[in-house]
Amino acid sequence: MDTAPTLADYEELADVEIDLSDTDLDRETIDAELERLFDA
Amino acid sequence: MERRTFVLSAGAIVGGGGLALGTGAFDSVEAERDVSITVADDADGYLSIRPHDGPNGAYATMDDGELAVELTDDNGAVAGDGVNANALTGVANLFTIQNQGTNEVELAVSPLTFLDVSGSIFPPSIDGVLGVLLVPQSGSWSVDPDRGVLSITDLAPGEETDFSLAAVAFPESAIDEVEIDDELLITAEA
């Protein structure tokens, strides 16, 4: 794939689900940062 | 008399040569050839693994010739002691892997997700979560869930790929409560 990995990809790899309910962070923010890093 | 002697001698030479070419036989050969192999550190090996040339390469260190990702107070090249709590930290251009061999290789890195969670199941409470994600930069990659690895295909001789890092830590009590102390497996197969 030539697109950035998403948080869901990492969760699939590690077979975990990261619960973000105790933080102000959301999946969209993390995915956007992953895309920025991928294109850096 | 002298001429006949010459003819016989020439025939003997030709006959002897034909015998040698026909069998290739010899009893033994002894020869010495040079073999030179050295061992290089991570930066200079056939698979070069080194901190990125940019400023964020300081978050990776070379420890006894081996690359280490070091976002702790042990890293003297960076003033801070770790990632922020209640925050998403991105470190672009952390380290570089370059194919310095002669064959195209498939590069695989595992794991890409590092996670430490502190808390209790009953009663349910979370004292700290630290998740660290390694991010390949550009290039073609694929996830292999069965092996738990990310593969980057077609890393030709001379080609390199960079890796970045994203970290999430929460809540505030995660400070000094959670940490990652693990190993990253990097493989390259022609």
Decide if B184 touches A, using CB distance below 8 A: no
Neighbours of B44 (CB within 10 A): 13
Main-chain dihedrals φ then ψ at residue B5, nearest 5 degrees: -60, -40
Per-residue model confidence as pLDDT tens digits over B15-40? 444 444 556 788 989 888 888 788 88
Cα–chain center distance at B175: 32
- Interface predicted TM-score of the whole assembly (ipTM), two decimals: 0.93
Q: Residue B9 has what pLDDT?
A: 44
Q: Residue B162 has what pLDDT?
A: 92
Residue A17 and residue B107: Cα distance in Å, rounded?
26
Q: Where are the beta strands (DSSP E) in B10-84?
A: 47-51, 60-63, 66-69
Cis, bond preceding B145 (omega within 30 deg of 0): no
Q: Calculate the alpha carbon distances from B4 to A20, B16, B114 in Å.
A: 107, 19, 93
Confidence of residue A37 (pLDDT cuts 50, 70, 90): very high
Chain A residues within an 8 Å CB radius of B141: 1, 5
Neighbours of B72 (CB within 10 A): 15
Contacts of B166 (CB under 8 A, 6+ apart): A30, A33, A34, A37, B88, B89, B90, B91, B132, B133, B135
Contacts of B63 (CB under 8 A, 6+ apart): none
Residue B48 and residue B66: Cα distance in Å, rounded?
10
Per-residue model confidence as pLDDT tens digits over A4-20? 889 998 888 888 888 88
Chain B residues within an 8 Å CB radius of A19: 129
User: Given an 8 Å threshold on Cβ–Cβ distance, is B137 in contact with A38?
Assistant: yes
Tell me if residue B174 falls in helix, strand or coil.
helix
Which residue does chain B place closest to A24, by CA atoms? B86
Q: Residue ranges of the domains in chain B? A: 47-189
Q: Residue ranges of the domains in chain A? A: 7-38
Cis, bond preceding B157 (omega within 30 deg of 0): no
